[in-house]
Amino acid sequence: MPVLTIVRRVLIAATLVVILLVPLRGGNAPVVTKGSDIDVLVVVDTTRSMAALDYGDGEPRWNGVEQDLPALAEALPGARFGLLTYGADADLVLPFTTDTAAFTSAVETTFVESVFFSAGSRIDRPVYEVTTTLERAAELDPDRRRFVVFVSDGEDTDEGQPAPYDEVGDLIAGGAVLGYGTEEGARMPEADDMSTDQGYVYDYQELTDAISRADPENLADLADELDVDYVHRTTPGGMDEVAADFRSTPSNDGTSGSGQRDLVWIAGLVLVLLLLWELYVAARAWTLASEALRAVPGQGGPR
């Protein structure tokens, strides 16, 4: 067997081994992710002020929350969502899960506090719970990107120095602050179902219906502290844009999700060229053999 043929067939065998057994990887390449590496902690204000009637066309602020959060979950397929609520207390209602239906159900079964149990508003009330939840998530899944969505009207009715959210900002890759309500404010229905059948929350000091006024400046300050966007919500829709910011947010290594370029196609190209060479040699050998056979009297020609 000619030496060149031996070399060619050894190269074919070696290339096959490389393709089957050796991972050929190049440098980092951008990877488009839809949310499979994302944890979103949604922090929701459930104080009575979220029932104030100044969302959209005079609806409760809470109606906007119930429409926006499921829409955000739908816009981030594969992401894990957790729900933390705060009013008189802060509680993790739903740990991180990829079950969108479970998250939507948790939102739908969450209600604003009853007027009889409301303890006033403080935007910093859930600082500890938010921090510990994110720290625990980082310990369990350090490679995932964590986001916070803060949902509130921003109204602070309790006195005192606010606790900082700076530690939270260090634990997240991004997020958003969603604000509801107007600075002019509105009355709050007294009924637990937020209907006006039982009248409105009454301010016994002012001897008139209580007015809840949103504080967008407070929310904007929170967004700056977390280094995320503040979005004032007045109508449904637009959650796709919020989700798009999450998907495009760089991961810790400075890329929007990174992988390695698969270079196995190079070995495949070499194999194709070698096989074409082999086929060419075989075809040429067959042609030469046929011509030689026809040249022999009594072989391959007419009798």
103-107, 119-123, 261-265, 271-275 — which is least confidently predicted? 261-265
Average the pLDDT over 166-188 and give the result: 96
**143, 139, 152, 148: which is closest to 168 by C-alpha?**
148
Cα angle for residues 89, 177, 211 (degrees, 5° grid): 65
Q: What are the pLDDT digits (tens) for 106-165? A: 999 999 998 877 667 789 999 999 999 999 999 999 999 999 999 999 998 877 777 899
| Model pLDDT, residue 185 | 96
| Model pLDDT, residue 116 | 75
The span from the CA of 291 to the CA of 253, in Å, is 65
DSSP calls for 119-152: ----TTTTHHHHHHHHHHHHHH-TTSEEEEEEEE
Task: Decide: 135 and 129 in contact? Cβ < 8 Å.
Answer: no
The span from the CA of 7 to the CA of 15, in Å, is 12
CATH number for domain 38-248, candidates 3.40.50.2020, 3.40.50.410, 3.40.50.300, 3.40.50.1370 = 3.40.50.410
| Model pLDDT, residue 206 | 87
Share of the chain above pLDDT 70, in %: 84
Task: Decide: 131 and 90 in contact? Cβ < 8 Å.
Answer: no
| Model pLDDT, residue 41 | 98
Cα angle for residues 282, 280, 294 (degrees, 5° grid): 55
The residues, any chain, with a CB within 8 Å of residue 60's CB and separated by 6 or more, are: 50, 51, 52, 53, 112, 189, 194
The span from the CA of 4 to the CA of 289, in Å, is 19
Give yes or no for residue 239 having a pLDDT over 90: yes
Whole-number mean pLDDT of the chain? 85
Q: What are the pLDDT digits (tens) for 10-59? A: 877 887 777 776 555 555 544 444 557 999 999 999 999 999 999 999 99
DSSP 3-state assignment of 230? strand
Q: Which residues pair with 90 in a beta bridge?
A: 86
| Domain locations in the chain as residue ranges | 6-24+265-295, 38-248
